[in-house]
Structure 1
Amino acid sequence: MKFKFTIQNYQTEAVNSVVKVFAGQPFQDKISYRRDTGTQTFERTLLNLDLSDEELYMGFANAPVVLNAHQLLKNIQDVQNDNNIKESPALAKHMGACSLDVEMETGTGKTYVYIKTMFELNKQYGWSKFIVVVPSIAIREGVQKSFQMMQDHFMEQYGKKARFFVYNSKNLTDIDNFSSSADLSVMIINVQAFNARGKNARRIRMELDEFGSRKPIDVIAANRPIVIMDEPQKMGGKKTQKSLLEFNPLFTLNYSATHKEHHDLVYVLDALDAYRMKLVKKIEVKGFDIKNLRGTDGYLFLEEILISQKKPPMARLEFEIGYDKSINRETRVVGVDDDLYALSKGMEQYRGYHINDIDPIKGVLTFTNGVEIHTGEVLGDVSEKDIRRVQIRETIKSHFSKEKELFNRGIKTLSLFFIDKVEHYRKYDEDGNEIQSEYGRMFEEEYTSILNEYLTLFNTPYEQYLRDIDVHKTHTGYFSIDKKGRAIDSKIKRGQDSSDDESAYELILKDKERLLSLDNPVRFIFSHSALREGWDNPNVFQICTLKHGGDSTTNKRQEVGRGLRICVNQSGDRMDEHVLGDEVQDVNKLTVIASDGYKDFVSSLQKEIGEDLYERPTKATPEYFEGKRLKIGDDVVTVTSDQAYSIYFYLVKNDYIDEDGHVTEKYHMDEENKSFAPLPDKVKDIAEGVYALVNGIFDEHALDGMIEDGHTTKIQENALNDNFYKKEFQTLWNYINHKWTYSVHFDSDELIKKAIKHIDEKLFVSQLQYTVTAGTQGEDWNADTVKSGEGFVADKGHTYRLERGETSQVKYDLIGKIGTGTHLTRKTVVAILKGISPFKFAMYQNNPEEFISKVIKLINEEKATMIVDDITYNKTDGTYDSSIFTAEKNKDFSKAYLAKKNVQDYVFADGTAEKSIEWKFAEDMDLDDKVVVYAKLPRGFQIPTPVGNYAPDWAIAFQKGTVKHIYFIAETKGSMKSMDLRPIEQAKIKCAKKLFNDISTDDVVYDQVDSYQNLLSLMNAI
């Protein structure tokens, strides 16, 4: 297969952020200079090539930056303002004309971005000489691979290819070609090649006979290259920085997810942005806590809690079982009242371990002796090998679960194990023959056991795929190779955190695309932990770190980063949001099987992410919003002071920020549900930018949603079950699943009269006010009272009315807005407004927005009371598909009712409290033998009414006698009193009643009830 690269907006913005810094720089192509070729090189070239003297001596360098420091700084500040980045007070020019920082989260394609930036700088300004400097062999090999994979992609965009090579002190011809070429040319070099003590590293500064008695560094420097630093935080040493100056950089570009030393920052896409924009996989963590109990050697591991429609919660529990000749650890599905002493065949260590409760919501199993075990927890006599086996097992289980879901989408699933010693996976006897290893044996035993659970009597395409894969061929290792061809531990030099062994990276990167083919049996990869940095693949969905003895120095972000990239299918297409829609982070989820506990791992990971986040504001204030530049379509809009205050008061009014200006949970909930309160008119046109600014504010809970607990009890979907296909429900569904239109006639003059009267009686618009409080310095004024806020004492206050300023520029289309909200003509609206009392109309000046919203509400209330008797419904050709029952995603199953007769296993009752009206209603229906089947109707099932769409609650099929069925559509309300319901809600219910009772007078009944007993009373009357 071949990777396909999609042009992403955020990547284009990152490229443009660099290019715009040089606005005003003229295009200068092929700036030539007389190149020192060296005598030996010159003579050898003259003999072998048919070139003129001029061509032999000609080199092409980057044209100088003609912008002065002031112009560059001004351009940088403009870019920073456009990207809402804090302005640089001065120009960082320690490494050329300027040094620009681009911050991009791991997995979002920073290599792609800086390669595209080269093409754009070449296109816009003619610059053609670039050097990519990397901190390790691993990254160097990855960069070279990226250039190879992206050649055709950029050829399509720019009509040219970049000439690239990896610097090698033994192959100096590449440097001459780099200098003499007028094409876009790139040298890739790792810092060890010019900054280490070895002989090969020193050669770059030596006059070499084979290089015409020239120094390679001098030849490179003559080109005035643009230096691109990949992961500059790993190259911040004084010696490295001094060495980099020898390249004579025109300017420097720094690309990283975790900058340590900041220069002039021009673009930021941090971990929080990448997660919110769904540009990386969501992270799920399975951690394993070990607890040794006193007085017992009993081993227990709670794998998961199982939920079923037909059974109470069960648990997959691993424990020891005593057989005649051995004691084995086995996994069994157990339930409440099971006795481990009996199940273990009388092992004393389990005496008293009688299961008392299994709580799927808290993820805990409790025994009658008081011992508790949580999902993912290991108790008892546990060795390190036990934990490694558990990790391997959980990785394989997660793999199968994900693979089953993705196989039909044509997405290959890969799992990656990092190990600290190669001998744990690859072992050799004295003759050099490979023999079975500890992890290899564990893997194949666990794989075979789990595979048998997935294979059934049905030969589905996925099961056939599994049957065709040999367990020995589905796992492999990528390691450093010695001269005898054996896998060995990677050697790490002092002060480094990754290996420089090229043999390992060559193998890993060579197979990158081939691994993604479903025809390739390799799905599980073992690699040395020292190679974390050098390998990633978009289809890694599980990462497991198997480490003996622990490793407190592990960088969690580095581990997780190997699997963050958005996955691809068999055609090489990215499976991102525009392809998958709302499913993007259900599919793109990375499961990390940690070697430590969940809380410890997540805490460490979140701390690393938080420390590396770009400096974000923590409070929403008018000052924060004012002056921000927002890109709205093709225009750039600056937030005015008036708009800034409007945004701020909007957030306060809707409880989107607390009294300290911190973003609240309500904001995040409304964002997730796409149910934000309407923005004020003056900022509606910049809505997208407003929410982007709010999302730019950091709060302590901002990282909470990024990482999930992989041990929580999961239900994949709330699918339709057998109840849906019962003939009784199918009959009812065929009655009601039509779509409808309505027509209604009412007297406009009568509506006008009633609306005028209703507004005059009910309308009240609050006047805007402000309070002035005066206080004096207290007698006990001191440092302590000042810090506690008690240094001043308030002694008087007065509230004033806020009169609307005559100079206000805000204009409202009063008639148009009321007409839109009431679906009335402008003529009718004018008649109503003219008829209301002058006193009431004057309230418009006090608070226009409140006046408009309340007038709309009052008119609609009168309209609602007039329409019901005159409404007529007409059936259309459209019907509701059964998929509307399963359309709603991201439900919290911990708050669901496990039903028996519903058409889905779970009922999501309105309201969060257990035993709410709807919860109790469902329980009562499940218990009553007169109910054959029922459905909690989804929100997508709606009836149109003149005052808004209406969604009834329940569809129920009752058994009436031995033959007859009664079909009931019910609306459950907390009160049956009409006065407790708003007129609009009353009107919706009356419209629904008219529609359903017109469908079939004898067979379908609709009514409003407040309990199941109330419903039974209605049934008995039928």
Structure 2
Amino acid sequence: MKLDKLQYQLDAVQAVIETIDENKIQASHPQANPLLHIEQGIDVKMETGTGKTYVYTRLIHQLKQNFNCFKFILLVPSLAIKEGVKNSIQSTGWIQHFRQEFNNQNIHLGLVSAGDFANKKGKRKQIPEAIREFCDSSQAEKNNISVLLLNDAMLASKSMTTDDYDSTLFGHLSSPIQGLAHTRPIVIIDEPHRFKKENTAWKNIVENLQPQLIIRFGATFPERSIGTGKHKIIEKDYENLVYELNGIRAFNENLVKGVHIQYPHLNPKQTDLIKFKITKVIDKSTLLFSQIGSKKTVEIKVGDDLGILDIGFKGLELDKDGSKFKLSNELYLETGMELIPQTFAQSYQEILLKQALDAHFEKEKTNFYREHLANHPPKIKTNTLFFIDSVGSFRGQDKQEKGWLRLKFEELLRQRLASEINKATGEYQEFLQASLQDIDACIAGYFAEDQQKKGDEAIIAEVDDILRNKESMLKFKHANGRWNLRRFLFSKWALREGWDNPNVFVICKLRSSGSEISKLQEVGRGLRLPFDENGTRLNAEQHHEDFRLTYIIDYSEREFAKKLIGEINADGGGLKTNSINDKILATLVENSYANTLAKAKGKLLLEDIIDEQDQILDIEKLCSLFPTTFVQKLQDGKVTGGEEKPRPKLKLNKDNFEKIRDLWNVVSKRYLLEFAKTQPEEIESLIDDTLAQVEWMAPSIEIKNLMLNVERQAMIHQGGYQSIQSHIGQLNYGQFLKQLHQRTSLSLNGLHQALIRYSQHNEVKPEYFNQHNIEQFLKAFQHTFIEKFAQKYEYSSLNYTASTSIFNDQGELVTELAQGLVGEYIADDIQRPHDQKYLYDRYAYDSEIEHEILKVQPTDEVIVYGKLPRKSIRIPTYIGGTTSPDFIYAIQAKDSQNIHLNLVIEAKSDNQRDSDKLAVNIQERFFKQIKHQNIQWHEITDIAKFEHLLKNSLIKEA
């Protein structure tokens, strides 16, 4: 996984650095951090999937480089987070990345487990080696940073605080936590909402560990109450929030995937479900259930089967976990929760499994082929995650090798693979066939209970792949060349905060998570932007792809999308609270919602936006009442599905489209792109020029040198790195040529002869035949190809019409079009009531130059105008894919109702990217070659040029 330096991540690091006054730093003893003199903690809020671990790892390096801080304690709340952090920091890619960024600085990561404190038989009780190394490390080790990774339970254990060890730290301290405190550590807390200040873990940090600085990184922070009664306000418990990347910004700036919510579409009889609500806790062992829409109430005691309520619940027993009630399927219960018997039936879960497979294979094909992009980009591995109700349903019980849920899923997967194989071709068909031959290899599970199954090597391998070997799940092939089939993962809620996989594109929840869990936390396992098979992180805007997580839920949670949007919106601007306050009411009064604070509050109550306790019930509706200066808002289309409104549409003015039907008959024909006959010497020159641009590299790997220091009790210390040759990614000559041939369509013999010519003047080593140099060749080839052959092609009209976005299969105009096909934004500042000339009912645009063009009032001679939809005029490009111009202006002939000229406009800004320049050149060439007297194409880069063009076109006709 190749690491990027993303600007928002650098900004977060810089925000922390700027809080520290370098002039006030004081020296300390050699085994301790310098004194920073910071009176309060620092908080950094970053939404799930935006790279918190990378940011605080970079911050550690920056604090070392800027202020010589070199001792850090990382506190995490769970095993999954601990494993994720450990694997990231210790990965070769991260080590190399940060060594290059920070002048060979290196993190020595210490890990402490409960077994490290065990008093081994016949031996003295020793302080764990990781803690000893952390305390002993010195400022003299200039490039070394000591980081101790602990979970909250470890910090609170008696083993950390007792002082009966037979060894000491710093010569006189026999308590591990006192030794750690002596180093004046900087503590970094991951997932701060799990470290509430009233909890024991926080007190252990502040009172026992006594760090000089606490830096909290999280998407969610704990809450605190201010005031009492009606004046009580609940707000986030921030210390000193120096940087905020909230959910609104993460979604709106395309820093994470969008989310699409799905649930089974049931017929009217099925949707009229019986519901039971938990209305009261009667005593420590009894809950009162009420049937909604009925007076029926039933008391259920711990140990009772819920089949008493409804046959659909049969087999589920009421249980307890400490003071909390739960069902035997581990669903935790709270008063106010609604249970629907039908959602617990096996047949209903089968519906959800099928729906997940539909979503998976739709995305898998798109990500495998990526046909809408030119130049055969690398494939994207597609993974799907299932949250289920019990281990037994997957792993099996009573000596069964597999549970009923896994067997059902395997049956459905076999059926689906057989169907997809018949439709697939090439490599994807091979991938599917291999999947059908080895179904077990496609599936893996991770459950907390797996940690106890040390004897089962197959289960351990599954857990390692999911929990500790994230990168392997991004690759299509193993090192031995065999297909990497694993892509369907099953878990309970063990995979929550701290675990994600960037290539999870589908999450299917076959159980309710309960009302206490954040909706953003639920979808967070799949929000991170994906990586392609080469380990490159993909940017949605840069790659023109709509990366979207499909989240499948049961029918009982059908308002999930609305709640998710509400939760995201609640996190922005002035609404960082779950209840209203005087500031909110005053803002509503200022915006004419009501005349007084009391009336505003009463109106909110009447409209069911708040309840009698001032708690916000409908955050989305409340957000709509505020100006954007007070509250940020999630853009339309970032979260879709469920009960949400469909993506916005534009209505077509069919009469106006009919007026330019003649234009369509010309430009929507299929056109064959023919290259001029290329001479053999031109192909030779193309390959020779490409080879000359390749910076050949042999694969290598860096090995850590360890030195034994006898003077310090034979402790092992890091002694630098050396680079040695590696065979990773190396190919034999025939494989190298074959891959180049497949990726470029150049002949094998032509490539072979060119390499012979190249080797006569340059050294060509066998190590050069590797995957890295194939990618280097392809980049150089594309650049050289465009440079040499950009003008060597023609367009020839064919006798059939291309399918376009505004006509259906029968050649009829559609009645409406997705707004996104025309423009991302609506120009609300353009007011032209009853505009009979425009192509749609609203004015949509993508860029500022398009917005300026739309603002120009068309004159009487313009009888039809408008923004052209994407894929409406599909001009083939010589590097693959198509391009469409932006606008059409149909100008009426003098003294006639006929159109004398169709102005076709391509609008571009001055600072054009290479892809923009390519589109302009291709469109210009296309419209010149079709030579139609009524069609003129023009590139517009400023509004004055456009106004001049319209005026000249009219004058010329007059």
Structure 1 residues 887, 174: CA separation in 2 closer, same or farther (over 3 Å shift)?
farther
- The one of 51, 57, 69 equivalent to 1:127 is 69
Amino acid of the structure 2 residue aligned with 1:523: R
The question of whether the paired residues in 2 share the 8 Å contact of 1:598 and 1:709 is answered with no
Give 2:35's aligned residue: 64
For the pair 1:262 / 2:234, whether they are aligned, the reply is no
- The one of 439, 443, 457 equivalent to 1:475 is 443
Distance 1:230 1:573 in 2: 26
Distance 2:509 2:14 in 1: 39
- The one of 366, 380, 384 equivalent to 1:405 is 366
The question of whether the paired residues in 2 share the 8 Å contact of 1:735 and 1:999 is answered with no
Deviation of 1:572 (Å)? 1.1
Give 2:136's aligned residue: 180
The question of whether the paired residues in 1 share the 8 Å contact of 2:837 and 2:865 is answered with no
Secondary structure in 2 aligned to 1:208? coil
Give 2:494's aligned residue: 530
* Cα deviation digits, residues 600-632 of structure 1 (max 9, x gap): 2113323333444464699xxxxx9xxxxxxxx
Give 1:108's aligned residue: 50
Taking the TM superposition and a 5 Å limit, the aligned residue runs for 1:245-644 are 245=206, 246-260=208-222, 261-288=237-264, 293=269, 384-408=345-369, 409-430=378-399, 434-456=400-422, 459-469=425-435, 470-479=438-447, 480-481=449-450, 485=454, 508-519=466-477, 520-547=484-511, 551-577=514-540, 579-580=542-543, 582-583=544-545, 586=546, 588-597=547-556, 599-613=558-572, 615=574
Distance 1:592 1:988 in 2: 46
Give 1:900's aligned residue: 810
* Cα deviation digits, residues 562-587 of structure 1 (max 9, x gap): 1111100122110114641x32xx1x
Amino acid of the structure 2 residue aligned with 1:698: V
Distance 2:419 2:897 in 1: 55
The question of whether the paired residues in 2 share the 8 Å contact of 1:538 and 1:564 is answered with yes
Secondary structure in 1 aligned to 2:48? coil
Deviation of 1:163 (Å)? 1.1
* Cα deviation digits, residues 379-431 of structure 1 (max 9, x gap): 9988721221111111111111111111133211100111120111111444x
Structure 1 residues 263, 898: CA separation in 2 closer, same or farther (over 3 Å shift)?
same
Give 2:631's aligned residue: 698
Distance 2:261 2:517 in 1: 16
Amino acid of the structure 1 residue aligned with 2:221: H
Secondary structure in 2 aligned to 1:138? helix
Give 1:833's aligned residue: none
Structure 1 residues 116, 97: CA separation in 2 closer, same or farther (over 3 Å shift)?
same
- The one of 154, 160, 170 equivalent to 2:105 is 160
Structure 1 residues 221, 204: CA separation in 2 closer, same or farther (over 3 Å shift)?
same
Distance 2:902 2:395 in 1: 71
Amino acid of the structure 2 residue aligned with 1:708: T
Secondary structure in 1 aligned to 2:34? coil
Structure 1 residues 518, 696: CA separation in 2 closer, same or farther (over 3 Å shift)?
farther
Structure 1 residues 387, 130: CA separation in 2 closer, same or farther (over 3 Å shift)?
same
Deviation of 1:160 (Å)? 1.4
Deviation of 1:194 (Å)? 2.4
The question of whether the paired residues in 2 share the 8 Å contact of 1:65 and 1:97 is answered with no
* Cα deviation digits, residues 894-931 of structure 1 (max 9, x gap): xx552524899998999999x9989999xxxxxxxxxx
* Cα deviation digits, residues 744-798 of structure 1 (max 9, x gap): xxxxxxxxxxxxxxxxxxxxxxxxxxxxxxxxxxxxxxxxxxxxxxxxxxxxxxx
Distance 2:810 2:268 in 1: 41
Distance 2:195 2:65 in 1: 29
Structure 1 residues 698, 487: CA separation in 2 closer, same or farther (over 3 Å shift)?
farther
Structure 1 residues 570, 978: CA separation in 2 closer, same or farther (over 3 Å shift)?
same
Give 1:24's aligned residue: 22
Amino acid of the structure 1 residue aligned with 2:128: L
Structure 1 residues 735, 388: CA separation in 2 closer, same or farther (over 3 Å shift)?
closer
Taking the TM superposition and a 5 Å limit, the aligned residue runs for 1:213-228 are 214-228=174-188
Deviation of 1:166 (Å)? 1.9
Deviation of 1:539 (Å)? 0.6
Give 1:642's aligned residue: none
Structure 1 residues 902, 23: CA separation in 2 closer, same or farther (over 3 Å shift)?
farther
Distance 2:191 2:343 in 1: 40
Distance 2:129 2:630 in 1: 52
Structure 1 residues 177, 709: CA separation in 2 closer, same or farther (over 3 Å shift)?
same
- The one of 2, 5, 11 equivalent to 1:4 is 2
Structure 1 residues 989, 187: CA separation in 2 closer, same or farther (over 3 Å shift)?
closer
- Provide the TM-score with structure 1 as the length reference: 0.49
Give 1:136's aligned residue: 78
Distance 1:464 1:919 in 2: 50
Amino acid of the structure 1 residue aligned with 2:444: T
* Cα deviation digits, residues 168-226 of structure 1 (max 9, x gap): 45262222211221331111111111225xxxx44434331244770111111111111
Give 2:763's aligned residue: none
Amino acid of the structure 2 residue aligned with 1:707: V
Distance 1:918 1:900 in 2: 26
The question of whether the paired residues in 2 share the 8 Å contact of 1:285 and 1:598 is answered with no
Deviation of 1:460 (Å)? 2.3
Structure 1 residues 453, 129: CA separation in 2 closer, same or farther (over 3 Å shift)?
same
Distance 2:672 2:452 in 1: 77
Deviation of 1:694 (Å)? 9.2
Distance 1:237 1:1003 in 2: 75
Distance 1:204 1:383 in 2: 46
The question of whether the paired residues in 2 share the 8 Å contact of 1:172 and 1:211 is answered with no
- The one of 594, 616, 640 equivalent to 1:708 is 640
Structure 1 residues 270, 988: CA separation in 2 closer, same or farther (over 3 Å shift)?
same
Distance 2:379 2:569 in 1: 36
Distance 1:1001 1:447 in 2: 50
Deviation of 1:146 (Å)? 1.9
Give 1:641's aligned residue: none
Amino acid of the structure 2 residue aligned with 1:4: K
Structure 1 residues 887, 7: CA separation in 2 closer, same or farther (over 3 Å shift)?
farther
Secondary structure in 2 aligned to 1:535? coil
The question of whether the paired residues in 1 share the 8 Å contact of 2:95 and 2:106 is answered with yes
The question of whether the paired residues in 1 share the 8 Å contact of 2:248 and 2:569 is answered with no
Structure 1 residues 710, 397: CA separation in 2 closer, same or farther (over 3 Å shift)?
farther
Deviation of 1:227 (Å)? 1.1
